[in-house]
Amino acid sequence: MLPRVVFHHVHKCAGTTILKFLEGTTSPQRTAAIERLVGDPDPTRADRIAALLRAELIHDPFGVHDWKGLLGNTVDVIFLRDPVERLWSEWRPSTAAWSPQRGPGPRPAPPPPTDSR
């Protein structure tokens, strides 16, 4: 039996692109997204466990579970990036000046006063 793939999704590290690729290789019935299982109060605990046991792909954006200890046959997938580039990528859009395309942001500095003599 092939191991379950556990994808630990790290924000701003191409995670969405990689997740879409991995989801394209697995049927939706065999995919478990931890954020949906934890955040949805409707399914019973047995339903959550059944979804995990059935899964071939587990999307874990939190990265706090020991999946090998819980489920046994798993392989972890994680993509990391240079920490300085990642911080810059996160920070840069929040400091852009307002434009009709981007919406509000920090206002540009006012023009210097003119001499009225």
pLDDT of residue 7: 92
Whether residue 95 is contained in a domain is answered as no
Question: Does residue 36 belong to any structural domain of this protein?
Answer: yes
Asked whether residue 96 is assigned to any structural domain, the reply reads no
Which of 72, 101, 83, 79 has the alpha carbon at shortest distance from 2?
72
Per-residue confidence at 24, pLDDT binned at 50, 70, 90?
Answer: very high
The domain tally of the chain equals 1
| pLDDT, tens only, 38-83 | 765 555 577 788 888 889 999 988 777 788 888 888 999 888 888 8
Helix (H) or strand (E) holding 100: none
SS3 at position 73: coil
pLDDT, the chain, mean: 78
Q: State the residue range of the domain holding 56.
A: 4-87
